Amino acid sequence: MNTFALPIAAALIAGAAVASGTWSTNPAEAMQQAAAQKKGVMLEFTGSDWCGACISQKTQAFSLPKVQEAIGRSFIPVELDFPRKKQQDEQTRATFNSYKKSYDITGFPSLIFTDAQGRPVHTVVGYGNPEQVMNDTAQAEKALKAQQELTDKLERKLSDQERRDTLARLLNTVPQSSIRTFYKPAFEELAALDPQDTTGIRAALERKELLKTQSAEMVQNLRENNFYALAAKEPDKAIAILDNSLKKEGLLPEIRQSLLLTKVRLLIQRNEVNEVEEILKSAIALLPDSDEGRACSRLLADLPNIRKERENLKPGEQPPLPPGAIPAAKCIVPPAAKK
């Protein structure tokens, strides 16, 4: 099976052998070692001298022997550093940037667990404490084992139905975001064997891509309308922008939930807590199990506490902000009415 091309030749030229302890800084070399040892590779994309979450994860999790042992059982760890102050030679920087582009890294820290060919089996974005890192490593270890077993099975002679089912299981095992690139041959073969998409993999992938597109369009629209500045100074206008965005047809439930959640946070900032309960319920009903739906559920459950906080505020006093809210410049609680 063909694999997605990685900048291996450049990586072999660049990079020292070790970052610290047993951490490599040469991805291609690590993949060669992984192939020889029948392991995978864990790529850590980090900003060692500017990213607070990266620094915390390194000192609080990766420095612990139990975490190192958990990773080392099935993966060779590799540090791809993107410093802002430290000196880094041009070849190393160029190589790391090529990996960053190949794996579509958009946030730091990011962990990409791969097989020895560089194909992702599990991905993580953001800080993880020791328990979270060990849990992700265990998930990656399980995914790597399943991926390798399915890949080996595809090397054998199978009927068309067996191949279709095995390909579907493989693509359901790996990160969805890697299917069109690192698992492109498997995806194309499955499409030929299953033109009606009975497995639902193509539909799920297209939906995820549409969600990503709509999310980017939403953020761009808010920026173009100066939403974030208006949210702090003229929340009425900011809410009007959100209401107008919600009128767009074809929005996926997660996008509507995100817009409604942002509106709710602005209303809470304005101390209009009694206006948000029905909005939150309608947002949850769209897709209860999405990340946005769960966020709405948490905020709905916390409404009694939010109301209680505001009962004790004095006229003109600024209430605490709800989670994820944008600070408003104006006082929320109106002054007491004159007698």
Predicted confidence at residue 336, as pLDDT, reads 40
Predicted confidence at residue 317, as pLDDT, reads 64
290 neighbors 253 (Cβ within 8 angstroms): yes
Q: Which parts of the chain have pLDDT scores under 70?
A: 1-21, 313-339
Predicted confidence at residue 327, as pLDDT, reads 52
The predicted-structure confidence for 100-152, as pLDDT tens digits, reads as follows: 999 999 999 999 999 999 999 999 999 999 999 999 999 999 999 999 999 99
Alpha-carbon torsion (289, 295, 296, 298), positive or negative: positive
Q: Which residue has the tokens 């915390």?
A: 56
Stated pTM of the model:
0.78
53 neighbors 127 (Cβ within 8 angstroms): yes
Q: Which residue has the tokens 């070849």?
A: 91
Predicted confidence at residue 152, as pLDDT, reads 97
Predicted confidence at residue 69, as pLDDT, reads 95
> Hey, which residues does 46 pair with through a beta bridge?
81
Helix, strand, or coil here: 26?
A: coil
